[in-house]
Chains A and B, each alone.
Chain A
Amino acid sequence: MNAETGVLIQLDGAPHLLAPGTSLAALLDQLGHAPASVGTAVNGSFVARALRQDRVLQAGDDVLLFQPIVGG
Chain B
Amino acid sequence: MSTGTPAQPSASQAADPWSVAGINLTSRFLLGTAGYPSPQVLRQAIAASGTQIVTVGLRRVLAAGGDNGFVAIVREALSERGARLLPNTAGCRSAREAIELARMARELYDTPWLKLEVIGDEHSLQPDPVELVEAARQLVREGFVVWPYCTDDLVTCRRLLDAGCAVLMPWGAPIGSGQGLLNPFALRTLRERLPTATLIVDAGLGAPSHAAQAMELGFDAVLLNSAVAQARDPVGMAHGFRLAVEAGRAGWRSGVMARQDFAVPSTPVSGQPVLLGGPP
Contact = CB atoms under 8 A, between A and B. Distances in A.
Given A44-B100, A71-B34, A71-B88, A39 B105 contact: yes
Interface stretch (A1-9, A18-26, A59-67): A59-67
B175 A72 contact: yes
Contacts, number: 95
A48 interface: yes
Interface of B: 32-36, 42, 55-63, 66-67, 70-71, 74, 87-88, 90, 96, 100-101, 103-105, 107-109, 175-176, 225-226
Contacts of B175: 72
Nearest to B67: A69
Contacts of A39: 58, 104-105, 107-108
A69 B62 contact: no
Interface of A: 12-14, 33, 36, 38-41, 44-46, 48-49, 64-72
B100 A41 contact: yes
Nearest to B102: A46
Nearest to A68: B71
Given A69-B71, A71-B88, A46 B58 contact: no
B62 A12 contact: yes
B225 A65 contact: no
Main SS class of interface, A: strand
Given A12-B61, A13-B62, A68 B108 contact: yes
Contacts of A44: 96, 100
B88 A69 contact: no
Given A12-B60, A41-B104, 13 more contacts: A12-B62, A46-B103, A66-B59, A67-B58, A68-B67, A69-B34, A70-B32, A70-B33, A70-B35, A70-B67, A70-B74, A72-B35, A72-B225
A69 B104 contact: no
A59 to B, nearest CB: 22
